A and B are shown apart, each in its own frame.
Chain A
Amino acid sequence: QQQVKQSPQSLIVQKGGISIINCAYENTAFDYFPWYQQFPGKGPALLIAIRPDVSEKKEGRFTISFNKSAKQFSLHIMDSQPGDSATYFCAASMVWGNQFYFGTGTSLTVIP
């Protein structure tokens, strides 16, 4: 059973546009929601994360929106750049747990 569902599988955006990736989860015990960015041939790197006590977190051009009642969260990339082209994974975990649950990934391509 997929604990975290991610969409879309792939996304093509024009330079300067907004990229939006969505994730949904089932387990209400999750209390930490990170996003990872992975470039080809590299390991995923932590990009930004949010806890359920806030509805939005912004770091530069990257924003997480969190809807606790709907059990959904999304990543918004403003002013998307070709250098943002990568695979993005959402994830969920419990602060005092040992396991992490990843979405299936979204391949983002930003066209110049």
Chain B
Amino acid sequence: SQTIHQWPATLVQPVGSPLSLECTVEGTSNPNLYWYRQAAGRGLQLLFYSVGIGQISSEVPQNLSASRPQDRQFILSSKKLLLSDSGFYLCAWSPTGLGRETQYFGPGTRLLVL
């Protein structure tokens, strides 16, 4: 079966510090990968998605970036965090081919920027 991991689970960072959040998927190959941000009590904002290694599409211009160095690894980064970057970050995957219409979410990373 497939599983998706995110770490860290929680993170408290000062304004201006760098960020690196990691997401890995097990049990599948060549998944589509997604990063979402969810502000407190709000909906899901798509940040980036990737259909393959090195292929990143950005949905919202901001100080965040994403990379996919390996097939099942997706990284969200920032060089300098802003207060507004606080939120709940969710990684998700979907199969390519059969079943690609469904997304599966990771447990999330709670980020607090102070």
Interface residues of A (CB under 8 A from B): 31-32, 34, 36, 41-46, 49, 89, 91, 93-100, 102-105, 107
**Of the residues A32, A43, A45, contact of B101 by C-beta under 8 Å:** A32
Chain B interface residue count, CB cutoff 8 Å, equals 22
Q: Mark B70-114, 1 if CB is under 8 A from A, else 0.
A: 000000000000000000001010100000111111111010000
Q: B35 interface residue, CB < 8 Å from A?
A: no
How long is the Cα–Cα vector from A96 to B94 in the complex, in angstroms? Answer: 11
Closest Cβ–Cβ distance, residue B61 to chain A (whole Å): 17
Closest to A100 in B: B103
A98 with B43: in contact, given A43-B105, A43-B107, A46-B104 (CB under 8 Å)? no
CB <8 Å contact, A105 and B43: yes
For B44, list chain A residues within 8 Å (CB). 44, 89, 102, 105
Closest to A34 in B: B102
Pick 26 A–B contacts, CB within 8 A, sort by A.
Answer: A34-B102, A34-B103, A36-B105, A41-B108, A42-B107, A42-B108, A43-B90, A43-B92, A44-B90, A46-B103, A49-B102, A89-B43, A89-B44, A91-B103, A93-B102, A95-B101, A96-B100, A97-B101, A98-B49, A99-B46, A100-B46, A100-B94, A103-B43, A105-B42, A105-B43, A105-B44
**Of the residues A31, A41, A98, A104, contact of B51 by C-beta under 8 Å:** A98
What total count of A-B pairs have CB within 8 Å? 57
Interface residues of B (CB under 8 A from A): 32, 34, 41-44, 46, 49, 51, 90, 92, 94, 100-108, 110
Closest to A4 in B: B43
For A44, list chain B residues within 8 Å (CB). 44, 90, 105
For A97, list chain B residues within 8 Å (CB). 100-101
Most chain B C-beta atoms within 10 Å of own C-beta, residue among A41, A44, A95, A96? A44
Closest Cβ–Cβ distance, residue A61 to chain B (whole Å): 21
Known: A46-B104, A98-B94; 13 extra A-B contacts, CB below 8 A, are A43-B92, A44-B105, A46-B102, A89-B44, A95-B100, A95-B101, A98-B49, A99-B46, A99-B49, A100-B34, A103-B43, A104-B43, A105-B43
